[in-house]
Chain A
Amino acid sequence: MDTLYEIKTRVITFIEKNDMYVKPVARFILLLMAYLMVYMNLSYFPKLHNIFIPLILAVACAILPMGLSAVILGFYIAANLYGLGLEVMGVFLILMILAYLLYFRFSRENGSLVVLSPVLNFIGIPYTLPIATGLTTTPGASVSVLMGTIIFYFLKGIKANEEALLASEDALKTTKLHIAIEQVLVNKEMWLIIFAFFFTNVVVYVIRRLAIKEAWKIAIAAGGVIQLLIILIGKLVLGNPYGILALILGSIISVGLCFVFQFMVFDLDYQRIERVQFEDDNYYYYVRAVPKVLVAAKEKHVKTFNETKAKREEEVEREIARELDIDPKNLK
């Protein structure tokens, strides 16, 4: 266990030291995967079939905010879908507009989840995301995971129907439109997954906030089992028993990944090196504020025998810490 903690500390130190590079590189890797997926599977527009286009776009988007990168990726997909017909591209763009109108007006921070969700769906471990977002954010953020899932299933359906779409001539524009819309409206499996993901997310969120020992671990396990059961039963009810082995394997791997994620993130208040500039009457200040690195993971102790008293004590401690301008954790 000690070596694990050591590795954790090293990783955290590394990330904090190289904060300036880690984020763009991580973004680049994620975007590159997404672009290559599109390039390999959805290259319907011959003029865009050039490996340098996804490469350049991935590099460029790595330094842009994630929300904007997701929009650019969306346009890249739309342009590729144009090769199948204006109608297919139109439906995809409408999906993007709906996503913006109904969700991204409120929260623009979760662009990475919209990209990550189809990528993980493609790899076969999308079951990680509802649990991981339940652990770290509020259920509202899961909406972006769901939107990514809708986009994935739409593209998957388009891919499955590519022959019909390519075969239908201009005279059958309505057929193309019909096929494209059908991928979203009548895709029962997609709605099943969406329901399972949302429900799992809420369950994980509720459990991990309970004041019980090992709340996070219980949340992950419960989330994993509930998710698997909903999808499994749903698949059987829908009469689509294919891919059950992949589902079970994917779920197990996802839960494992979530435990790793929990180990790395739990009780880690993500702080980064801040570079700020300001001035007062006498000086200009160029400050680099470096967060104190956590050396050993702190155990979470939950005392429930007298909650109000414990809360009051904690408040007093925090008050003192604020007055002294020190970390409240140092008082314990």
Chain B
Amino acid sequence: METLLIELLKSLVSGLLMGMVFALVALGLTIIFGVMDIVNFAHGEFLMFGMYTTLLVSPLMGVDPLLSLPVCGVVGAALGMVCYFGVVRFLLRGPMVAQLLGTFGLMLALRNLALLFMGSEPRLVKSGVLVGRSLVLGPGVVLESTKLAAAVLSIVSFVFVWWLIRRTKTGMALTATSLDKEGARYMGISTERMNALAWALGGASVAIAGGLLVNFWPVEPNVGLLFTMIAFATVALGGFGSIQGAFAAGILIGMIVYIPPVWDAATSFAGVDAPTIHGFKYTFVYLIYFLIMVLRPQGLFGWKQ
């Protein structure tokens, strides 16, 4: 019984921590979607660029990986702007199909640029104040410091972006554009500038998430797709365009990912000869995504459909 409880507790805490990072990953997608109704397939690739940034910058500048986060933010924002002005702006004129394919082409290009320059072997940050340390909460419940820090900093970033959007003038202009593009334009808010801002903000937040993630999740050029799908699922669950929704749904998705290990522990404890399902960790995420889309397309907190 005790082992089962510990497993449950461990999964609960891990799910919570992971969920906060997922929320930050999804934040960028939901901002971009909310402002301009475009689905960005290259989202996971932005994350991957953030991961590589931390990996390369922290030894180069001789600082701890966690201190390289501002650089990630800048790189992400720049990448978002370049993608917007270089590609996405032209896709907006076409039908929805053009946007789907265009951002898919962007994903292919970014992913393979990484492959070209970084090679295909998975890499992980190896040194740093927090790497390898852990916090013991109780017998068997061990928290890796890197995950804890990632979760805390993720919340900090999240709150910062939330403040930026809800409490500053620029942020309100952004909200106005996502609510009613035409109306906002009559008020003198340039849609073009708001779109660019959404991409910069989205790129920065997801790149920071990448910088946090690389402390405990190895990076390779193909890492993006999984996170793109997780971000889609998170955004769908929380409601397309909703910021609070993304946060709640991120944590929920983090928990869902840990259902299979708990289930396996429970069946082995109960002595039931059930097949193990830990291989289906992310299948559950896709399934939830599908069900949410079909049953409640506006998500849990969505206002846009």
Partners in one complex: no
B residues apposed to A, CB below 8 Å = none
